[in-house]
Amino acid sequence: MPEPPSPPLNVVCLATYFKGVDFIRECKRLGCNVILITKEKMLQEDWPRDSLDDLIAVPNDAGPPLMIDLVAFIARKVKPDRVVALEEFDVMTAALIREHFCLPGMSSSRAKTFRDKYRMAKAAQAAGIVLPEFVPLIDPDDVRDFMERVPPPWIIKPRSDVSAIGIRKVNDAAEVWRIIGEMNERENLRERASYYLLARFIPGEVFHVDSIVNNGRVVFAGANRYGRPPLEVAQGGGAYVSRTVAHRSENEKKLFVINRQLLKALKLDRGAAHAEFIKSDADGKFYFLEIAARVGGAYIADVLEAATGLNLWREWAKIEVADIAGQVRADSDQQPDRGEQSAGVKPDRRGGNNRLKPLRNEYAGIVLSLSKQEHPDTLAYDDPEIVYRVKKLHHAGLIVRSPKLERVEELLTQYVGRFAEDFVAVVPPLEKAE
């Protein structure tokens, strides 16, 4: 007799910000019940309500205890099979929920390694990965020794925030001591100096590698280079740019090797990762900067999909669902392609490590900026290589695709200049996430 059909899998998604629409849609397409928990400030965003079995908003200041209690309430009727963080600020909360309900997935200890820049730096250092010298702002003697050994300029950065939020470039020891003193007077204990790092500032080009991991192996990776370092954009304004790294280039090969070493050292078993590296102007080496256990923001997934035809969110969802169900849930119409860019797993019945094969090997890039206009009009940009126009209030953005990297770079260079005239707005950099 045929086996009875398996009950639908129940996936609880957490999203402090508007992220992961394709993940939600893919889980629903694969037959899952999907519940989304978000913050009140995000409730009116364009969530894929047709793919959600429930949408719950919690207060904007809700912490892990409230979230755990909410999932316990949900579990009275719908037993969760998986809890997934779609956004950086939910990674720890999701881990604590999993531990409370004994669900599979990343533990809070492992999650903290991907949230705390001090922990990730220590883990990378122990694995022999090259990174800028660093010291936590805890022991004055350690800080003093660091500043005597490592010449300025330096970077002071929070251990747990994202992007360039709260990062400051400093040039002398007196400034460092003044900032430490100010931090230690703050009312919020989690904003005091021990929650910050001091690190060597390395001038150079910044790259990012975005990965899908299954059973501890990188099964897809794509490498991109920023037009300007994110810190420079965050603090000086202007357009953000990222584009594909040349296929089979030495830069791509080196980045893929370091990325694999890093993810192995940090013991990511399954999911998405966004890692950033800087190529030093002085010695040409790649230095590890930071990593997150999530899909990269700023439309990075859209850029990679434009270049490869592979959607990070959907492939991550397939791996999560296949891991729960113990059965094949991946598409079968993908074509073989090249090297690590071809890396990406089609899970087999044992959750195997076959690589996902992108549909194309092209190049893509994005130009994105804050806009003076609430609804910026980009229709005057009419090049046929444009494949996506950002639709977000007070943001102007375009994604382009071409078989030739030179054409992508040519268009992005043109657009940066035109955006400066047409759209770019500058606001003071954030000291902390809002």
Name every residue whose Cβ is closer than 8 Å to that of residue 102 and which is 6 or more positions away in sequence: none
- Where do the structural domains in the chain lie, given as residue ranges? 10-113, 133-200, 204-422
Integer Cα distance of 9 and 32 in angstroms = 5
Q: Is 144 helix (H, G, I), strand (E, B) or coil?
A: helix
Q: Is 35 helix (H, G, I), strand (E, B) or coil?
A: strand
195, 159 contact by CB (below 8 A): yes
Q: Is 345 helix (H, G, I), strand (E, B) or coil?
A: strand
- CA angle (411, 274, 307) in 5-degree steps: 35
Pick the CATH number of 133-200 from 3.30.1490.20, 1.20.120.1200, 3.30.310.50, 3.20.20.390: 3.30.1490.20
- Find tokens 């007070």 and name the residue: 394
Name every residue whose Cβ is closer than 8 Å to that of residue 96 and which is 6 or more positions away in sequence: 64, 67, 68, 108
SS percent in the chain: helix, strand, coil, step 5: 35, 25, 40
- What's the pLDDT score for residue 229? 78
365, 242 contact by CB (below 8 A): yes
pLDDT tens digits for range 362-384? 999 999 999 999 999 999 999 99
> Domain spanning 10-113: which CATH class is it, in words?
alpha beta
- What's the pLDDT score for residue 233? 74
81, 67 contact by CB (below 8 A): no
Q: Taking the model in full, what pTM does it have?
A: 0.89
In 3D, which of 269, 296, 290 has the Cα closest to residue 123?
A: 290
Integer Cα distance of 218 and 221 in angstroms = 7
Q: Which amino acid appears at position 28 of this protein?
A: K
State the chain's maximal CA–CA distance in angstroms. 78
- What's the pLDDT score for residue 71? 98
> Domain spanning 204-422: which CATH class is it, in words?
alpha beta
Counting beta carbons within 10 angstroms of the beta carbon of residue 57, is it exposed (0 to 12), middle (13 to 18) or buried (19 or more)? middle
- What's the pLDDT score for residue 359? 84
pLDDT in tens, the chain (434 residues): 455 557 889 999 999 999 999 999 999 999 999 999 999 999 999 999 999 999 999 999 999 999 999 999 999 999 999 999 999 999 999 999 999 999 999 999 999 999 999 999 999 999 999 999 999 999 999 999 999 999 999 999 999 875 556 789 999 999 999 999 999 999 999 999 999 999 999 999 999 999 999 999 999 999 999 998 777 776 667 899 999 999 999 999 999 999 999 999 999 999 999 999 999 999 999 999 999 999 999 999 999 999 999 999 999 999 998 866 553 333 333 333 333 443 333 433 334 456 777 889 999 999 999 999 999 999 999 999 999 999 999 999 999 999 999 999 999 999 999 999 999 887 665 555 55
Range 339-372 burial, b when 16+ CB lie within 10 A, else e = ebbbbbbbbeeebebebbbbeebbbbbbbbbbbe
Tokens at residue 182, please?
């100010």
169, 232 contact by CB (below 8 A): no
Task: For residue 402, list its beta bridge partners.
Answer: 363
> Quick one: DSSP state of residue 393?
T
Phi, psi dihedral angles at 172 (to 5 degrees): -155, 160
The alpha-helical segments, DSSP class H, found in 76-195 are 91-101, 108-115, 117-126, 140-149, 173-183
Integer Cα distance of 232 and 164 in angstroms = 9
E strand or H helix at 272, and its extent? strand 271-280
183, 137 contact by CB (below 8 A): yes
Got the DSSP string for 276-305? EEEEETTT--EEEEEEESS--TTTHHHHHH
pLDDT tens digits for range 240-281? 999 999 999 999 999 999 999 999 999 999 999 999 999 999
